[in-house]
Amino acid sequence: MSTLFISDLHLENARPLITNLLGVFLQTRARTADALYILGDLFESWIGDDFLDDTARRVAADLADLARNGVPIFFMHGNRDFLLGKDYAAMAGFSLLPESVVINFYGVPTLLLHVDTLCTDDVEYQKFRSQVRNPQFQAGFLRLPVEQRLAMAAGARDASKKHTGKANMSIMDVNEQAVVAEFERNGIVRMIHGHTHRPAFHQHALSANAAAERIVLSEWHGRGSFPHGSYLEVDENGCRSVPLEA
């Protein structure tokens, strides 16, 4: 048996092939897992549990079916779907995780996070994140009419694309010192995260002469008629990235 990890699917109505690929994964490989962890940005955007499009409803049904078949599902918010709440979690049959958590997988304590908190070189993004993660801001946003929330979310996505297009790509990745500090603060030597869309297995040297492993999950994407994705499989023998194709 093994535990599976995915992130950064960025699901929306405009990307049906990715939603289909997730459905196949949930109906096949995920059925035999010890658990499934979703580490953020399952959806491209989220304006509140009171507005569910066709994609959100289908994904909830597919996840709930997996949960009913005995596979525990855990969800961590990303920078796109941080407003996803308890109502949708109950509908989809998963448990909500804090923004970072240490869990022991097969004898190895492992830090899970989306990791945008460690992209500290992107000062503009960190200011934006601080604003939108403020509970008062979120409560005010969720009280707005759906149409206004949709318009604001579209504006935020456009602004994000412009920022990404003009910014130095190096600041979009994690800060090395922030990563090492997070390893040492938590007393662990394995970290799994998404967000950066730069899948890899990294090694980091800690101050106690220990070697730490940081595993970056893959973004799911659909180019042409061939969607691609991958999941991380973790068991007592270690970690493996497994590709998915329709």
pLDDT of residue 246: 66
pLDDT for 127-137, tens place per residue?
A: 999 999 999 99
> How many whole angstroms separate alpha carbon 71 and alpha carbon 94?
10
Cα distances (angstroms) measured from residue 124 to each of 130, 143, 195 = 10, 26, 16
Per-residue confidence band for 245, with pLDDT thresholds at 50, 70 and 90: confident
**Count: domains in the chain:** 1
Domain that holds residue 195: 3-245
> How many whole angstroms separate alpha carbon 119 and alpha carbon 202?
16
The pTM assigned to this predicted structure is 0.96
Answer yes or no: are the C-beta atoms of 239 and 201 closer than 8 Å. yes
Per-residue confidence band for 160, with pLDDT thresholds at 50, 70 and 90: confident
> How many whole angstroms separate alpha carbon 121 and alpha carbon 31?
39
pLDDT of residue 170: 77
Per-residue confidence band for 165, with pLDDT thresholds at 50, 70 and 90: confident
pLDDT(235) > 90 = yes
Question: The domain spanning residue 87 has which CATH number?
Answer: 3.60.21.10
pLDDT(209) > 80 = no
Q: What is the mean pLDDT of residues 47-68?
A: 98
Q: What is the mean pLDDT of residues 229-242?
A: 97
pLDDT of residue 161: 84
